Amino acid sequence: MQNPLILVTNDDGISSKGIRELIGIARSLGDVIVVAPDGPQSGKSHSITQEKVIQFRHIVSTQGYDEYACSGTPVDAVKIALHEICKTRKPDFVFSGINHGTNASVSVLYSGTMGAAIEGTINGMHSVGFSIDDYSDDAEFSHILPHIHDIAQEIVANGLPAGVSLNVNFPKACDKPLAGVKVVRGAKGNWIEQFYPANHPYGLKTFWMAGSFLNYEPDAEDTDLYVIKQNFGSIVPIHVDFNAYEHFAEIGKRF
């Protein structure tokens, strides 16, 4: 039987530590192709590049393993992998990450890591995004790698339902081993932005966007944020369906 083909991508860029760790795991489970942004693409959500050209370059080639760096967003990377780089053999799986920073709760909406995973699912590939609640370039991954391996192996063996991706998040390394993983829902919450003046030399109004996260339901035990705080990894099965069916009847009467 042919090895499965796993497309690995991320949003922190092809040279980040997180994708290096994920490539290692993917290579133990199948053939691997890496198509990842050539630089940081955090917060790019599901965006695509239309107003500029997209460029890619081939970096590494060994048997059953190629790497390409591409300009543009994580979703661009998945699209160009599917339609231009992998023309002769469609990937079976998309692994995105390991993201340096959490994508739990509402962050799934802003995340380029999860944008890539969702784009994989939309195009019929079994897709999962992995993230850790540690933003440093040199984040410690050793406590979660065996768990990511087990999750990835299970997905390679059994796939995922059509239309469903997994959003997997882990706590930062601490003095205890990871307590395990739990399948939960994404917590309700929101980012509250703050804009910090960037001190333009001629006084133009320039700002850095930053923010702090507000968890609307910190006591809800069935949520990703809750279990991560308890030192578990969280697995949230996600899908994309924007239709607000429960409001169709009422809004239908108004227009």
- Site residues (CB under 8 A) for its own copies, limited to 32-91: 40, 42-51, 53-57, 73, 75-76, 79-80, 82-84
Instruction: Return the number of the residue (176 or 203) whose C-beta is nearest its own copies.
Output: 203
CB of 155 to its own copies, least distance (A): 9
CB of 181 to its own copies, least distance (A): 6
String of contacts with its own copies for each residue 1-20, x by CB under 8 A = --------------------
Stretch that binds its own copies, among 27-35, 92-100, 112-120, 137-145 (CB under 8 A): 112-120
Residue in 99, 103, 100, 129 with CA at minimum distance from that of residue 7 = 129
CB of 35 to its own copies, least distance (A): 12
Which residues make Cβ contacts (< 8 Å) with residue 17, sequence separation at least 6?
Answer: 100, 137, 138, 139, 141
Cα separation, 24 vs 35, whole angstroms? 15
- The one among 3, 179, 208, 216 contacting its own copies by CB under 8 A: 208
Instruction: Return the number of the residue (145 or 164) whose C-beta is nearest its own copies.
Output: 164
Binding positions for its own copies, 181-200, rule CB under 8 A: 181-183, 185-186, 190, 193-195, 198, 200
Question: How many other CB atoms sit within 10 Å of the CB of residue 74?
Answer: 35
Instruction: Return the number of the residue (51 or 175) whose C-beta is nearest its own copies.
Output: 51
Cα separation, 67 vs 78, whole angstroms? 13
CB of 44 to its own copies, least distance (A): 5
Which residues make Cβ contacts (< 8 Å) with residue 139, sequence separation at least 6?
Answer: 17, 18, 100, 132, 172
Question: How many other CB atoms sit within 10 Å of the CB of residue 106?
Answer: 18
CB of 24 to its own copies, least distance (A): 21
β-partners of residue 100 are 132
Which residues make Cβ contacts (< 8 Å) with residue 149, sequence separation at least 6?
Answer: 25, 28, 29
Through-space distance between the first and last CA atoms of the chain, rounded to whole angstroms: 56
Instruction: Return the number of the residue (89 or 200) whose C-beta is nearest its own copies.
Output: 200
Instruction: State the amino acid at position 69 in one-letter form.
Output: A
Instruction: Return the number of the residue (1 or 53) whose C-beta is nearest its own copies.
Output: 53
For helices 145-158 and 17-27, the axis angle rounded to 10 degrees is 50
Contacts with its own copies by CB under 8 A: the residue count is 76
Instruction: State the amino acid at position 153 in one-letter form.
Output: Q
String of contacts with its own copies for each residue 140-169, x by CB under 8 A = -----------x--x---x-xx-xx-xx--
Binding positions for its own copies, 231-250, rule CB under 8 A: 235-240, 242-245, 247-248, 250
